[in-house]
Structure 1
Amino acid sequence: MIFRKSKTSDVESIMKIIRQAQEFFKNQEIDQWQDGYPNEYTIIKDINNAESYVLVKDDEVVATSMVTFKNEPAYDFIYEGQWLSNNKYATIHRVAVSNTHKGLGLSTEIIKYIEDLCINHDVHSIKVDTHKENIPMQKTLKKNGFEYCGIIYVDSSSERVAFEKLL
């Protein structure tokens, strides 16, 4: 498998995976990604900012994620807990795996690749948030050494559970 930066030619494949994730959340009654987000504009913006990544297997995009080394303003305030560190960090957003490749540990593979990216950028902290009902993502994070840190708000009213891993 190859983990690489996304190209504009990947947008269709990425959006297919995003739509599958949106449908999964809807079927699980998880109120995440149910308002038209992320959309094609979001993905193109990630690509233009060199923050969109895909996992490719046999020339097929099988998973997607966004990684940024920029400050995440929503992380400036954390409630009912605290971050493990106040150092430079990477943030992971928009992890999704194709329905045909679920259950193969690809989210873990993405996390490993992101850890390598961080080390190469001399960054030793990864922060991530997810919906409180997104138990599969929370299990993946905990399995990969992330620690629950508290609650953040992505908008004034959108509560998320926050995790951090020190490298």
Structure 2
Amino acid sequence: MITKAKSSDVKEIMDIINTTVEEMKSYNNTQWDENYPQGKDFEKDIEQGDLYIEVEDGNIKGFICVNYIEPIEYSDLEWSSNEKCMVVHRMAVNSKFRNSGIGSKLMNFAEELAIKNEVKYLKTHTYSINTKMNSLFKKFNYEFVGEMNFLGKGKPFYCYEKILSENK
């Protein structure tokens, strides 16, 4: 079941982050590290009502932040629409529950949340070498828009968009 995260969930979320960061390091993906994301980032998401968790049997299987906040770096890209959009940020699946459809469930949730909020346009981004997230966005028919420099990282981030259909 996907529900809004609470402050009491941050410790478990950070455990997932720490495991994910170690895994990312194993294939030279430095998108996340000891500096980002931190507990304060998730606390802010929770305060704003933007962080959602997939919970089953008391375990957080994954999480996703969906809001209206576009990084300033998005302004340099040629998006296909100027209409109001929602943005997918900070998503991860607990390593104990990988390859069980949690990532897909979270992506479907983001689309359903947008439609529920009468938004037909989603944007997102990930590090160019984050093959797992790039593959997930492509699987969900997100269109590649371009590249941006972000978080002072050495390689570009890939930006994606998706215009949602009424019949989702």
Q: TM-score, normalised by structure 2?
A: 0.91
TM-superposition CA deviations, 1:98-147 (whole Å, max 9, x none): 01111112111101011111001111111110000001111111001111
Equivalent residue number for residue 118 of structure 2: 122
Q: Which moved more, 1:136-145 or 1:53-62?
A: 53-62
Q: CA deviation at 1:155?
A: 4.4
5+ residue gaps, structure 1 = none
> Residues 4-153 of structure 1 correspond to what in structure 2 (within 5 A)?
4-78=3-77, 82-153=78-149
What count of residue pairs does the alignment treat as equivalent? 163
TM-superposition CA deviations, 1:50-100 (whole Å, max 9, x none): 11111112221110111112343221112xxx3222211111111100011
Q: TM-score, normalised by structure 1?
A: 0.91
CA distance in 2, matches of 1:99, 1:156: 27
Q: Which moved more, 1:127-136 or 1:26-35?
A: 26-35
CA distance in 1, matches of 2:87, 2:20: 20
CA contact (8 A) 2:24 2:30 kept: yes
Q: Which runs of 4+ in 1 moved over 3 A?
A: 155-158
CA contact (8 A) 2:31 2:153 kept: no
5+ residue gaps, structure 2 = none
| Aligned-partner residue type, residue 147 of structure 2 | I
CA distance in 2, matches of 1:127, 1:165: 7
Seen in structure 2, the aligned counterparts of structure 1 residues 71 and 34 have a Cα distance that, compared at 3 Å, is closer
Equivalent residue number for residue 163 of structure 1: 160
Instruction: Report the identity percentage.
Output: 29
